[in-house]
């Protein structure tokens, strides 16, 4: 049971707290554990989330910024007025709960199909695209002097990493080879501006309420690089969930996204966004293949991994639509 440990540590820093209740592990999240719980105090209940490395977790993946950096980035975003949960506590060795942090629970929905179809989000959908552009502009304007240590990435480095990952799978896909060649041929070179890049800004990592964006989650892939990478990743077809004619998450246009971004004081390079959309589509395809390989190899033969793995074929179609559209 995790509640006694949580209750003990929460009481040490949350004024008036005398325990926790309603703890449950949430589904979702491929690399971290996420627990929801309520802090009990004299004014009632306060919702909270524990995000931590799984039990027995070793070194962080090479692409991960680390949970301490993630907590720092989320708190910086919160303080800058970007929709983000407030970080309440970063775990210490004395807490005996591993590596992670506790944040305020933000109510809302993260499941894309519900956001795109349920009536309760009907008023939010027309606002979302501009809101996301504004949020990304805010993220890219966070001062580098306040950021934790992050790795710096370029398009060339990412192409090399994805090609290495792809070759290691020993699962040849001619469309992936085509995409890698296209990316190398169209690499726009180092960005003139280096900013914080969220790294996974998309449906599933956004909390949406009746009035639109409530919070940006999952900063674990944050790094320094080309800010257009975040805009391109958000436009990948896999995050549209069937609404393919609305490139931004299935609810908006690129023009709306760019308008929201530029209204917040940023500049868009549409050609670089297109490049990063191709890169993001290949990236997700390789990740899907990796999920299928892990499903096959075991020992965790989870249905979720198999279902994600079969989506690799969808990314092949998406890449062909991007690189060789009909009539071209």
The more confident residue out of 212 and 29 is 212
CA–CA distances in Å: residue 261 to residues 121, 229, 317:
22, 13, 29
Question: 61 and 196 share a domain?
Answer: no
The more confident residue out of 63 and 10 is 10
Handedness of CA 102, 103, 108, 113 (dihedral sign): negative
Of 72, 104, 136, the residue at which a domain comes to its end is 104
Domain assignment present for 328: no
Q: What was the pLDDT predicted at 31?
A: 66
Residue 28 has pLDDT above 80, yes or no: no
Q: At what angle do helices 270-297 and 155-168 cross, to 10 degrees?
A: 20
Per-residue pLDDT reduced to its tens digit, 102-117:
999 999 999 999 999 9
Question: 227 and 97 share a domain?
Answer: no
Residue 147 has pLDDT above 70, yes or no: yes
Q: What CATH number did the domain enclosing 289 receive?
A: 3.90.1200.10
Q: What was the pLDDT predicted at 56?
A: 47
Question: Token pair for residue 158?
Answer: 């990412």
| Total domain count, the chain | 2
Q: What was the pLDDT predicted at 325?
A: 85
Domain assignment present for 69: yes
Question: 133 and 14 share a domain?
Answer: no
Predicted confidence band of residue 60 (pLDDT cuts 50, 70, 90): very low
Q: What was the pLDDT predicted at 62?
A: 66
Predicted confidence band of residue 61 (pLDDT cuts 50, 70, 90): low
Question: 80 and 141 share a domain?
Answer: no
Question: 97 and 121 share a domain?
Answer: no
Residue 304 has pLDDT above 90, yes or no: no
Predicted confidence band of residue 292 (pLDDT cuts 50, 70, 90): confident
Handedness of CA 207, 75, 52, 300 (dihedral sign): positive
Predicted confidence band of residue 57 (pLDDT cuts 50, 70, 90): very low
Domain assignment present for 299: yes
Question: 121 and 260 share a domain?
Answer: yes
Mean pLDDT computed over 79-103:
96
Range of the domain at 94: 3-104
Per-residue pLDDT reduced to its tens digit, 242-267:
999 999 999 999 999 999 999 999 99
Residue 55 has pLDDT above 70, yes or no: no
Q: What was the pLDDT predicted at 213?
A: 98
Do 183 and 159 contact (CB within 8 A), yes or no?
A: yes
Q: What was the pLDDT predicted at 58?
A: 41
Residue 173 has pLDDT above 80, yes or no: yes
Mean pLDDT computed over 184-194:
96
The torsion angles phi and psi of 173, rounded to 5 degrees, stand at: -135, 105
Question: 37 and 62 share a domain?
Answer: yes
Mean pLDDT computed over 51-68:
72
245-251: which pairs have CB atoms within 8 A and are 24 or more residues apart? 248/128, 248/129, 248/132, 249/112, 249/116, 249/128, 249/129, 249/132, 249/202, 249/203, 250/112, 250/116, 250/203, 251/115, 251/116, 251/125, 251/128, 251/129
Q: What was the pLDDT predicted at 297?
A: 79
């Amino acid at each position: 049971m995790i509640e006694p440990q949580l209750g003990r540590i929460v009481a040490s820093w949350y004024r008036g707290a005398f325990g926790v209740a309603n703890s449950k592990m949430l589904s979702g999240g491929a690399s971290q554990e996420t627990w929801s719980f309520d802090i009990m105090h004299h004014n009632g209940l306060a919702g909270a989330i524990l995000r931590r490395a799984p039990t027995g977790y070793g070194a962080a993946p090479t692409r991960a910024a680390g949970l301490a950096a993630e907590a720092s980035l989320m708190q910086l975003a919160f303080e800058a007025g970007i929709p983000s949960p407030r970080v309440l506590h970063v775990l210490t060795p004395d807490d005996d709960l591993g590596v992670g942090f506790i944040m305020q629970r933000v109510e809302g929905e993260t499941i894309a199909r519900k956001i795109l179809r349920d009536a309760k989000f009907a008023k939010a959908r027309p606002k979302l695209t501009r809101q996301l552009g504004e949020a990304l502009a805010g993220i890219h304007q966070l001062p580098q002097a306040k950021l934790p240590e992050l790795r710096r990435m370029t398009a060339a480095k990412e192409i090399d990493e994805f090609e290495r990952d792809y070759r290691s799978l020993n699962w040849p896909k001619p469309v992936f080879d085509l995409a890698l060649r296209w990316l190398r041929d169209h690499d726009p070179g180092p960005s003139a501006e280096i900013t914080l890049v969220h790294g996974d800004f998309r449906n599933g990592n956004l909390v949406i309420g009746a009035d639109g964006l409530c919070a940006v989650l999952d900063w674990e892939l944050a790094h320094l690089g080309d800010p257009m990478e975040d805009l391109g990743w958000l436009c990948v077809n896999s995050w549209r969930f069937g609404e393919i004619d609305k490139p931004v998450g299935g609810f908006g246009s690129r023009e709306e996204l760019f308008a929201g971004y530029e209204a917040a004081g940023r500049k868009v390079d549409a050609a670089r966004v297109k490049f990063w959309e191709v890169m993001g589509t290949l990236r997700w395809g390789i990740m899907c293949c990796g999920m299928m390989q892990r499903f096959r190899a075991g020992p965790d033969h989870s249905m979720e991994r198999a279902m994600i793995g079969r989506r690799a074929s969808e990314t092949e179609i998406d890449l062909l639509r991007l690189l060789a559209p009909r009539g071209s």
